[in-house]
Structure 1
Amino acid sequence: MNEAEVEINHESERRGEIRAVMSFVLVLAILFGSIGVAVMFVVNKVESTPGEVKVTLPTVVTMPLEVGSYSPKITSEGVVRSRREVRVAAEVSGKVVKISDQLIDGGAVEEGEVLAWIDKADYTAALARAESSEADAVLNRDLEIARQKQAERDWLKLRKGNEEIPDLVKRVPHLKSAEARLASATEEVERAVRDLERTEVKAPFSGRIREAGVEKGAVLVPGSMVAELYSDEDLEVRLPFSLRDFGLVPEEGKKQEITLTAQVGARVERWPAVVDRIEGEVERSTLSGYAIARVLPSEDGNYPKVGLFVRTEVSGTRLDGVAEIPRRALRGSSEVWVVVEGEDSIIEKRTVEIVRTSREEVVVRGDFEAGDRLVLTRLNAPVVGMKVLEVKELDEGEESKN
């Protein structure tokens, strides 16, 4: 090994020794520094003094809880329909020789107005024959009366003692037969007159033609439809109610006045109506009960169109001992929270019975006490007896959900 290599080895060993010494000094510095900091904390420690602990109470929005009487407004809707509808049919056969100008779909007719005329020639002839037969029957009856009187006179001339005149001698059977033939002939005349009248098919009541069934030249037989007619003034609406609401509809006999409304174009039209009756059967397919309202004319004397969709409100039977609360105050299916009367605002739970529900409100019955205030805020983990910070109102969106 030459001198250069020896010198390099000595230099490496010296550097290693220097690094070891510096590491030892760094460790000693860290140790003594930590001891100094600990001593400083001990010397300068702060003595804590006991004080009040501040507790943040959950904020709830409440409203007064009023228990009393409530008359629900039950909404329903239905379609206007006519109470009188009929298929007008021909009662005699024959060819239609003329029809009314109103015998068209939508035509307006009055009671007794002729809708169609059937050829009456055959029926006029039948009436003439019947009248001829009746005249012959009258003559025959009169002859029998004359013969009876003559027979009585002849008997009186030839009788012996007080013997009564036999009925056959008095021609009593002959007279009865003549009177029967006369009665039959009279009935035939009356039937011929009716058939002749029936050649004019008339409207049984005022209304409108829903469907015309004949044209001029058609040949009709008894029962052929001439027109389908409905009354446009004798109207009603069948109003459905859910079973829960149906139990609140006033019983039959209480003729309640209601108002029907409908959107017709850009305007809302109204008509008065009266709840006429309650149907005695529940519809199984929809589990609904029905009330029938009779439609009255509006102030200007108009009626709604048949088939128009209308809405209305019916005042339900009065309920006592109930409270109307917002739906959002209900917790679960049958619970609410209330702030009870006292120095502190403490919440308690009340179990309620739901009497009726609507879109925004719920009518309930429960064991409420005077001074209870309904909690509207939904709490995450409410506990009976928990204190809260009660506020009467908050802007929308500011309610706490603690």
Structure 2
Amino acid sequence: MNKSSLVKTLLPVIILLGAVVVAIILITSKKPPEKKPAETKAFLVDAQAVNRESVQFAVETQGNVLPRNQTDISAQVSGRVAELSEVFVAGGMFEKGDVLVTLEQHDYETELKLAEAELAQAQAALTEELARGEVARQEWQSVNSMAPPELGLRKPQLAREQANVKAALAKLERAKRNLDRTQIRAPYNGLVVSRNVDIGQFVSIGMQIGTLYSTDVAEVRLPVADSDMAFIDLERGFQQKDNVVLQARVNGVRHQWHADLVRSEGILDAASRVSYVVARVEDPYNRGEQDNQDMPLRFGQFVQANISAGQSRDLFVLPRSVLRLDQTVLTVNDNNELQIKPVDVARTNAQKVYIAAGLKEGDMVVMSAVPNPFEGMKVRLSGEQGDSPTPAEKDKPESSEKVEVGAQADE
């Protein structure tokens, strides 16, 4: 092997070994990277200071419109139906004192005449007995100076005739009443619900001839849950006017009527566990001179009622989402640490929660969702330096707190 061939063979090997030596030198001389401790930021929350607000609650309920007076009228005397009023039909309107039914009167007119004749006879007999007593007194005095006895002056006979006159007067009054009762009159302003008799029908004493409703006043019996009774000031509500608003849809159009809260039934229903209050509507059929309602409020109408008869209360009003399932609220203290506070909830709805106790004025209440919160957990507040959320925090899904709030809202 000549010299040139040896050089060509060894040169690549020498170059490769040189590269390996340089690489080893570079690797061994490289300084390790400086290690810095990883910085973990506290969880970012949105917290707001809260203060009490004056709140007046309105209780929502429903009920049916009923008349204050409902009467099943009946006959006090018997007889054949001789005449019916034109308004004595189902739905007919009448005024107090209107004659609805007239029974045949001939027999009662005859009884009245007999009673008048009997009274005349009794009065004549009394007059005659008075004269006889005077004659007897004069005759006694003419023959005897002593006081005459009562029998001698015919006083027992006089008392008997006076009693006969009183009896005849009583019979006459009864005959007049019976004759008047042949005309059955309306006891109040109202409407006819049903009629049970017709012309020519014989009516006996006590027979029901129809049903009437009074139209002067309508009442609505409203059930109120025991938890809502705390928001109704009954004593104050009974003194206010128009503190109940009734609503109903009639012929496809929603109408409103104003009513007054007038009384409570004072007992708790054992079956439904609710109390009942009564609202009153004056002149529901607009029969008076002043029509205060937009349209008549008919008996039997089902209405929604809004009762605003309570006193204002100072409460914390917060979004419904801040209330947890265990009736607690998350707050942030001065050291930016979470606190889990149990609260006394006065009332809730789909949007708001009203808290009566458990919070203080100025408390920082967490408005955003916090996954797996615990007492003393470090957090950052919006608005502080370096509080910009990381991309991971932006993309992080909402915690299970939202689900719990939704479940509680459904409850």
Bin of the TM-score, shorter chain as denominator length: 0.7 to 0.9
Q: Matches of 2:312 and 2:342 in 1, distance apart?
A: 19
Q: Tell me, yes or no, if the aligned pair for 1:76 and 1:240 is still in contact at 8 Å.
A: yes
Unaligned regions of 5+ residues in structure 1, if any? 1-31
Q: Rate the CA distance shift 1:44–1:277 in 2: closer, same or farther, 3 A.
A: farther
Structure 1 residue 213: deviation in Å?
1.1
Structure 2 matches for 1:335-354, cutoff 5 A? 335-340=328-333, 342=334, 345-354=336-345
For residues 373-401 of structure 1, give each alpha carbon's deviation from its aligned partner in whole angstroms, at most 9, with x where no partner exists.
32233322102222334459xxxx99962
Between 141-150 and 317-326, report the one with greater CA deviation: 317-326
Deviation by residue 1:292-326 (Cα, 9 ceiling, x = unmatched): 11113553585411111222322354365532223
Once structures 1 and 2 are overlaid, which stretch shifts more, 45-54 or 365-374? 45-54
Letter paired with 2:129: E
Q: Which has the larger radius of gyration?
A: 1
Secondary structure at the counterpart of residue 268 of structure 2: coil
Query: Among 41, 50, 62, which residue is 1:65 paired with?
Result: 50
User: Do structure 1's residue 282 and structure 2's residue 279 form an aligned pair?
Assistant: no
| Selected match of 2:360 from 365, 369, 373 | 369
- Partners of 1:301 and 1:223 in 2: CA distance: 41
The equivalent of 1:91 in structure 2 is: 76
Report the equivalent of 1:318.
311
| Percent of aligned pairs with the same amino acid | 27
Is the Cα–Cα contact under 8 Å of residues 63 and 374 in structure 1 kept in the other structure? yes
Letter in 2 for 1:183: K
1:201 to 2:187 alignment: no
The CA RMSD over aligned residues, in Å, is 2.8
- The 2-side partners of 1:166 and 1:326 are apart by 102
Aligned pairs for 1:79-118 (under 5 A) are: 79-118=64-103
SS of residue matched to 1:271: strand
Q: Distance in 2 between matches of 1:180 and 1:253?
A: 59
Q: 1:66: Cα distance to partner?
A: 2.0
Q: Answer yes or no: is 1:187 the counterpart of 2:184.
A: no
Task: Tell me the equivalent position of 1:308.
Answer: 301
Deviations 1:194-229 (Å, cap 9, x if unpaired)? 111111111111111111111111110111111100
Show the counterpart of 1:177.
160
Alignment partner of 1:190: what SS? Answer: helix
Q: Where does the alignment leave 5 or more consecutive residues of structure 2 unmatched?
A: 1-16, 284-290, 384-393, 400-411
For 1:233, which of 192, 216, 219 is the aligned residue? 216
Q: Pick closer, same or farther for the CA change 1:398–1:230 going to 2, 3 Å.
A: farther
Paired residues of 2:90 and 2:195 also in contact (CA < 8 A): yes
> Per-residue deviation at 1:248?
2.6
Runs of at least 4 residues off by over 6 Å: none
> 2 CA distance for matches of 1:40 and 1:171?
165
Task: Supply the distance in 2 between the matched residues of 1:76 and 1:176 (Cα, whole angstroms).
Answer: 69
- Once the two structures are superposed, what CA deviation does each residue of 1:70-128 show, in whole Å capped at 9, x if it has no partner? 32221122111110110111110011111112221111111111111111111111111
- TM-score, normalised to structure 2, is 0.80
Q: Within 1, Cα distance between the matches of 2:90 and 2:378?
A: 74
Contact kept, 8 Å, 2:320 with 2:351, in 1: the verdict is yes
Contact 1:60 1:400 in 2 (8 A): no
**Residue in structure 2 matched with residue 29 of structure 1 by the alignment:** none
Following superposition of structure 1 onto structure 2, how do residues 121-160 of structure 1 map, counting pairs within 5 Å? 121-160=106-145
1:327 partner amino acid: R
The answer as to whether partners of 2:232 and 2:311 remain within 8 angstroms in 1 is no
1:160-171 to structure 2, matched below 5 A, reads 160=145, 163-171=146-154
Deviation (angstroms), 1:368 = 2.0
Paired with 2:166 and 2:347, the residues of 1 have a C-alpha distance of 70
Contact 1:59 1:388 in 2 (8 A): yes
Q: Equivalents in 1 of 2:149, 2:321: separation in Å?
A: 103
Change in Cα spacing, 1:51 to 1:185, as seen in structure 2 (3 Å) is same
Instruction: Tell me the matched-pair count.
Output: 361
Whole-angstrom distance in 2 between the partners of 1:77 and 1:126: 55
The alignment's TM-score, normalised by the length of structure 1, stands at 0.82
Q: Deviations over 1:127-158 (max 9, x none)?
A: 11111111100001111111111111111101
Letter matched to residue 401 of structure 1: E
